Structure formats: C-alpha cells, structure tokens
Chain A
Amino acid sequence: MSAVDMRVRIGSLELRTPVMTASGTFGSGREYAAFVDLSRLGALVTKGVSLHPWAGNDSPRIAETPSGMLNSIGLQNPGVEAFVANDLNWLATQDVPVIVNVVGHSVEEYAAVATRLDAEEMVSALEVNISCPNVDAGGMVFGTSCPAAAEVVRAVRASTGKTLIVKLSPNVTDIVEIARAVEAEGADAVSLINTLLGMAIDTRTFRPKLARGVGGLSGPAIRPVAVRMVWQVAAAVGIPVVGMGGITCAEDAAEFMLSGATAVAVGTANFMDPAATVRIADGLERFCAERGMTRVSGLIGAARQG
C-alpha cells in the first residue's frame, strides 16, 4: 500500500511496524479488540505475569495529574498458568507477535515464569520487568542496582532462548549503567521507561490520593525524561532500544525513534483513545512518506547525526 518499509527488528523478532502496546495498559489485547485490529500492531505486550497470582494493591489505584496519571495497580495478575490458559490461548488465535511482561518477587520466580513461557510457541519474546514501582518485594528493587539487575537477567537468559527485552526503571541515578549491565548478561533489547515514582495528596482529605501512597507517573508529563533516557541509553549500548513514555501521536513516536529507539510502545494514550496504537502506526507511516523516506528505520537515532 505505501512505499514506506515500516519493518524493524528487535532480537530475532521482526515487527511489521515499530508501534507496540505498553505493558499493563492494554490487558491481553482482548479488551481492545473491539477498537483495534490487533494484526496492525508491531507487537502486543501483555500485562505483567508472575509465577503465582498477585492480588495487587488496594483502591484507589489511580489519580489524574497534569498531563499524566499516577497508578499503583501493583501487578495484579492471575499467575502464569491462568495467563497461559486464558489470555495466551486467546492470543494464539490472533495474528500478532506476543511479548509477555514477566515479574517476580525473587530471581527464582522470574526464572520459573520464563521457563514456563519458553514452552509456549505463541510467545515471541519476554519483557523482563525489573522496574515496577508498585510492589514492595521484587519489581523495581531489581532494576535499581546493577548486580541485582544482572542476576535477574542471567537467570532468565538461562531459562529461555526467546528474544529477551529488559524493561528499565527511570528511578535510578544512572540508567546507562543498568542498561550496560543487562546487555552484558545477554539481553537482546532494553525497553524504557517504566513509570516515574510519584505521589499526589488530596488537599480536602489530607490523605494521599492513592491507597498505597506512592505510585508510578505516566503520560505526556514524563515524555521529556523518557526521550532523554532513550537518547543516553541508545548511545551506550549495542542492542535495540524500545522507547516509551507519554507517546500520544505519530510525532511523539518519531521523537523517540529520532532519539535512538528502534521501536516504541504506547501506554496511557490508550485510555483516552482506544485506537491510539493504530492511529500512531498509520501516522508514523505518513510522517515518513511525507518526508520522502522509504524506511522507517531511517529515523532511528537520526537526531544524533547532526
């Protein structure tokens, strides 16, 4: 249809467009199937999946903030077996690469989930989430220290031959050193950023707006931080970077690619516009066509060359 080649490559995975969904904002895809032709997505990234069921945090779990939102969902999920039986088996009927977001309370749990998913042909890649700010044990704890991040990635790498993406936390002093540490352990790609730790207080009740107190900030408010981090990480590692944080339109997606991302993910924008992902994918193609580009990959890191 169009003259622009939209394909990009993440590890052994070829995406038909760089635009994918951000974990936790798109369910398992089924919830959005009425609004989005899933086969038009680069990949579908599922919500975080753990070895055993997690109940998540108490309500209220979200708060709207200027140009963004806080969430403290806490990785509520039914556990990997229920996920395979319900979500994955449904996804198997869909024509879209599936990337499963993996979480754990311990290195062993991450490895066990990875081992279980390695057996599922339907799973194209794993995204190891070492960056969730909303759980006490695990999550971000692993993503904020180089040795801990390396240990998780080493264990998961030993458990699966599938493409391995490691999702990084922005809540660190130096995201580049974490990216380098996970690259050294065999990560095929890094994705960033997860949410920024934040908080909002209700001045009427004098109480935090979230039951958990703190939560993760997402949406356009975090985009400049995310673009800066993609810029830094892409310059420092040899593996592809998946960029995300406040993408709402094709220009936002292009901004991430220009800063060095090979692919992008759309999260919070789905809540306002359930068709945001395909709208952005179509817009990105137009963006390239209007500039006479024949390959979307020509955008990757182009801001650096001058």
Chain B
Amino acid sequence: MCHAPAPHTESVTVIANERVAPGVGLVVLEAPRTAASVQPGQFVHLRIAEGADFILRRPFSVFRAGGGRLEILYQVVGRGTRVLADAEPGEGMDLIGPLGNGWRVVEGTAHALVVAGGLGAAPMGMLVEELARRGVAVTLAQGAPTGERLLARELFEATCRRVACATDDGSFGACGFVTGLSADLIERDRPDVVYVCGPEAMERVVATQAEAAGVPCQVSLERLMACGVGACLSCVVSTHHGRKRACVDGPVFDAADVLWEASEDPEAHPAPDPKPPAVAAPDPAAPGRGEA
C-alpha cells in the first residue's frame, strides 16, 4: 500500500510445508518482522537455496500473514520451487520484504469482485480477509484446470459472501474459464472494484470486461525479477505512463493503465484461450455444483 514501510532482510524458519493440490504447496514461515508489516498484495523475495543454480531470489506473494507467520502458496515449476517443495520444518531461509505496492482498498467500497485464476489465488488470501474486515461484500470468482486445483477453498468460502468456481474440465463448478464467471458477475452486479490475478491472458480479458462496464480494475502482474527493490529495471511493465517496475510500482497496476499488447508474461506455459466457457456459468450464489 502507499505507506508501506521500508523493506528489510529477515532470516526465516520453515514451520510447515505441505502439498495442497497437485504440484502446489503451502509453506508456513516464522517471519515475525515481515508478518507484522506486510500488506495485502505485497510479496517477498525468497532466497530458497544457495549455489551455482541460484543466482537470483524468487518472488512470492504473501497468501496470509499473522501471529508472526507468513503463508506462501507456491506452484512447483522449476529448480527453485522444487527445492522449496522439499524444505523441511526447521530449515532456515531468508527473505527481503515486504515488497511492492499491494492492492489498493478505497474507502467506501461496498462490493468487490475478486477474480483468481490458478495460482492467482496466492495474493488474494490477505486481500479477502482485509476486505471482510472492512465490511466489504466480496464475491470471488475462481478458476482452475480441475476441481482439486481450486486453491484455498476453505478460506474463500469462510470469508467471501459468494464464491463461484469454474474448472476447465468441469470437475467442479462451471465447466470453462473463470472469465465466463467474471463476465456475468461484472455485468450483473456492477461491483465497485474488481481485483484480478492469474495468467496474464486471463487478466487481460477480465480487465476488458471491467472497462466495458466502467468498473475500476486492479491487476497483479508477474515479471522476472532480479533485485526486487527497484534498482535493476528487470521487471518493467509497459503502461500509458511509460515503463514501470513491477517490483516497486507494482505488482498491482490499474488495469486501464497497462499496455497489454506490449507486456510480456514471464510464465512459459502457453496462455489459456481467453474465449468464454463452453457451458453457461452457474448461479454464483450456489457454488460447488459440478456441471460437467
């Protein structure tokens, strides 16, 4: 957020580390200093391991924070996250954080739509908790390839007023993409704000939907990062106001400011097809009914 305290380095200890979905883990870190100051949507730059293969830290959103601990939801995609998945309780690491601007929550927000695709759930934990704390009615639209990959379901069910899900294979919720749900929910409910995180192609579709409806939209963007503190210009995002650094000017951007054509998603896996789902979205008030 705007008045985020200066980042620091903190030695942290793994408290727990469990697989929560295929290829996805949740690591809990004892990190009192960071846990006390991190804001929703901020991230930490984690030194998972040392050695020739790890010249750079790895950036991860803070999923939840409290009681001196940080929770990070991570997907195993490469060398660093493989090592992270093997980390045992008691192991030490260090992080730089909290980093980035975080989500902006405007006074007077009554109804927020949160759209999370896949690992896009990661920066949403703290956000939905903060929104709920402020009495904002939260609708969550969540998408994943399969039902078992819908992350953090318990937290979202407990915290959000409504939860709507879509899966590529229809194994849970609507069959199709989360963008089908968001199209409906933006059009029908006209929320005060839309918060989006997921694959960039999906973020772009939701941003277009929000813009068409005249609803302000914030997106969290990923870029390859070296320093994480604004010094190296590795992580730039093209915007209407020039190239901005995702690590300090982001990772959260006003969707209307982003030049999507120019921007480059670092995720190597091919972007999902942004066309609407093949099957109509279910009633978001009644989540959890498979439609395959």
Which residues of chain A have a CB within 8 Å of any CB of chain B? 24-27, 31-32, 34-35, 47, 55-56, 58-69, 71, 73, 76, 202, 204-205, 211, 219-220, 268, 270-272, 274-275
Q: How far is the CB of B55 from chain A (nearest CB, A)?
A: 5
Contact B55 A274 (CB under 8 A): no
Residues of B within 8 A of A24 (CB): 232-233
Report if B96 contacts A (CB, 8 A).
yes
Given contacts A25-B232, A32-B229, A272-B56, whether A60 and B243 have CB atoms under 8 Å apart is: no
Q: How far is the CB of B269 from chain A (nearest CB, A)?
A: 8
Contact B234 A61 (CB under 8 A): yes
Q: List 20 A-B pairs, Cβ < 8 Å.
A: A25-B227, A27-B227, A31-B227, A31-B229, A34-B7, A35-B7, A58-B264, A59-B235, A59-B263, A60-B223, A60-B224, A61-B235, A64-B53, A66-B52, A73-B233, A211-B264, A268-B226, A271-B227, A272-B47, A274-B96
Given contacts A59-B223, A205-B268, A271-B57, whether A71 and B234 have CB atoms under 8 Å apart is: yes
Report if B37 contacts A (CB, 8 A).
no
Chain A binding site: helix, strand, loop or mixed by DSSP? loop
Q: For the complex, what is the distance from the CA of A275 to the CA of B52, rounded to whole Å? A: 19
Contact B52 A56 (CB under 8 A): no
State which of A58, A63, A76, A271 has its C-beta within 8 Å of the C-beta of B233. A76
Contact A69 B233 (CB under 8 A): no
Q: For the complex, what is the distance from the CA of A273 to the CA of B120, rounded to whole Å? A: 28
Residues of A within 8 A of B242 (CB): 55
Query: From residue 209 to 252 of chain B, which have CB atoms closer than 8 A to chain A?
Result: 223-224, 226-237, 242-243, 248
Residues of B within 8 A of A274 (CB): 9, 96, 227, 229
Q: How far is the CB of B272 from chain A (nearest CB, A)?
A: 16
Residues of A within 8 A of B153 (CB): none
Q: For the complex, what is the distance from the CA of A145 to the CA of B53, rounded to whole Å? A: 35
Residues of B within 8 A of A58 (CB): 262, 264
Contact A271 B55 (CB under 8 A): yes
Contact A62 B224 (CB under 8 A): yes
Contact A34 B8 (CB under 8 A): yes
State which of A67, A76, A275 has its C-beta within 8 Å of the C-beta of B9. A275
Task: Kindly name the residue among A59, A65, A68, A205 whose own CB sees the greatest number of chain B CB atoms within 10 A.
Answer: A59
Report if B106 contacts A (CB, 8 A).
no
Residues of B within 8 A of A59 (CB): 223-224, 235-237, 263-264, 266
Contact A25 B236 (CB under 8 A): no
Since A47-B233, A270-B227 are in contact, a sample of 7 more A-B pairs with Cβ atoms closer than 8 Å, ordered by chain A residue number, is: A34-B229, A61-B236, A62-B234, A73-B233, A73-B234, A271-B55, A271-B56
Residues of B within 8 A of A76 (CB): 233, 236, 243
Query: From residue 259 to 279 of chain B, which have CB atoms closer than 8 A to chain A?
Result: 262-264, 266, 268
State which of B55, B233, B236, B237 has its C-beta within 8 Å of the C-beta of A219. B55
Contact A69 B56 (CB under 8 A): yes
Q: How far is the CB of B260 from chain A (nearest CB, A)?
A: 13
Q: For the complex, what is the distance from the CA of A66 to the CA of B6, rounded to whole Å? A: 31
Chain B binding site: helix, strand, loop or mixed by DSSP? loop
Residues of A within 8 A of B262 (CB): 58
Task: Kindly name the residue among A27, A32, A63, A211 whose own CB sees the greatest number of chain B CB atoms within 10 A.
Answer: A27
Q: For the complex, what is the distance from the CA of A68 to the CA of B231, rounded to whole Å? A: 18
Q: For the complex, what is the distance from the CA of A275 to the CA of B236, rounded to whole Å? A: 23
Specify the chain A residue showing the minimal Cβ separation from B226. A271
Residues of A within 8 A of B227 (CB): 25, 27, 31, 270-271, 274
Q: For the complex, what is the distance from the CA of A67 to the CA of B47, rounded to whole Å? A: 15
Specify the chain B residue showing the minimal Cβ separation from A74. B233
Contact B243 A34 (CB under 8 A): no
Given contacts A61-B234, A66-B52, A69-B56, whether A204 and B264 have CB atoms under 8 Å apart is: no
Chain B 36-61: CB-based contact to A (< 8 A → 1; otherwise 0):
00000000000100101111110000
Q: How far is the CB of A127 from chain B (nearest CB, A)?
A: 17
Contact B55 A35 (CB under 8 A): no
Q: How far is the CB of A205 from chain B (nearest CB, A)?
A: 6
Residues of B within 8 A of A204 (CB): 268
Residues of A within 8 A of B50 (CB): 272
Residues of B within 8 A of A69 (CB): 55-56, 226
Q: How far is the CB of A270 from chain B (nearest CB, A)?
A: 7
Task: Kindly name the residue among A35, A76, A271 whose own CB sees the greatest number of chain B CB atoms within 10 A.
Answer: A271
Contact A64 B55 (CB under 8 A): yes
Question: What are the 8 closest A-B residue pairs judged by CB atoms, nearest first?
Answer: A27-B231, A31-B231, A34-B6, A59-B264, A67-B52, A31-B230, A271-B226, A62-B234
Residues of B within 8 A of A47 (CB): 233
Specify the chain A residue showing the minimal Cβ separation from B223. A59
State which of B7, B96, B224, B229 has its C-beta within 8 Å of the C-beta of A61. B224
Query: From residue 4 to 45 of chain B, which have CB atoms closer than 8 A to chain A?
Result: 6-9
Q: How far is the CB of B240 from chain A (nearest CB, A)?
A: 14
